[in-house]
Amino acid sequence: MSELFSLKGKNALVTGCATGIGRGIAVGLARAGAVVLAMDIADLSETREAVERVGGALRAYPVDLSQSGSIDEAWDRAVEENGHVDVLFNNAGMQHRESVFTYPEEVLDKILAVNFKAAYRLSQKAANHFVQRGYRGKIVNTASLFSTFGGVNVSGYTCTKGAVLSMTRALSNELAPHGICVNAIAPGYIRTELTRSIYEDAQKRRPMDERLPIGRWGTPEDFEGVAVFLASAASDYITGVMIPVDGGYTAR
C-alpha cells in the first residue's frame, strides 16, 4: 500500500507555497518522497525548513506569476536543473474584497493573471513536458468553494476560481488519452493569513462555525493527504473532479 502513495523519485512543482495551504501541500508531497520545486514571489525559507523537518528537499524558483516572461524563465530553469517534472500543483492565488461597483480593473487583471492564466500556462507546459517524455503526469489545481458559490464582494476571485474548475474539466478531457490526470481541490474555511480577518472576528466567523459539521476550521496540514493522493498512483483512475476539503461545509 505504501508504494501506491509513494512519490519517491518524483519532482513536484508547487506554486504559491510560501505560506498557508501551499506550504501544507509542499510538506505532504515531501513526506511522500517528492522533491518540491517551489515557485513563489515570496520568501520560501520557512517552507524549506518545514519540508526539511520531514526529511524532504525543496528547490526554490522565484517567480512573478502575473508576468508571462517570469513564468517561462522559472519553468525552463526548473526543468533544466532537475531534468523532469512529474507533478504540477497550481496552488498560487490572490484575493481582493471589494464591491463590484468599484472593483479596480488593474486588480482584476492581476487576479486573472495569477489565479487563472498562470495555472493554464503552467498546465500547458506540463502537458507538453509529460507527453514528450512519455510520463503519466499529474496536474492538480487549487480551486475553491467559490468555484461553485457566488460569494459577496469577491467577484474577481469567484470568477477566476470558476474558471479554474472549468479548466480542470476541459484539460482532463484532452489529456486523459495521454495518461495525464487533471484534478482540483476546493478548500473550505482554512486558518491562513488570507482568512485571518474573518477568523479573528467572532461575529464574522459565526455563520461558518455554525455550518461546519466537523466542528472546526481547517489548517494547512489538512491538505497533506489529499495532495499526496492526487499526485500519486493511488488516483490513476480519477480525473476531471474537484474534491472539497472543507470539513463538510458544502454537504450541510
Give the span between the Cα atoms of 151 and 224, in whole angstroms: 26
Cell of 12: 513536484
Catalytic member of 61, 120, 135, 157: 157
Q: Tell me the three state secondary structure of residue 168.
A: helix
Cell of 179: 495518461
Give the span between the Cα atoms of 87 and 126, in whole angstroms: 8
- State yes or no: is 157 an active-site residue: yes
Give the span between the Cα atoms of 164 and 160, in whole angstroms: 6
Q: Tell me the three state secondary structure of residue 140.
A: strand
Instruction: Please give the backbone phi and psi of residue 178, each rounded to the nearest 5 degrees, phi first.
Output: -95, 5
Instruction: Please give the backbone phi and psi of residue 162, each rounded to the nearest 5 degrees, phi first.
Output: -65, -40
Give the span between the Cα atoms of 130 and 16, in whole angstroms: 22
Contacts of 211 (CB under 8 A, 6+ apart): 249, 252
Burial of 102 (0-12, 13-18, 19+ CB in 10 A): exposed
Q: Which residues are catalytic?
A: 157
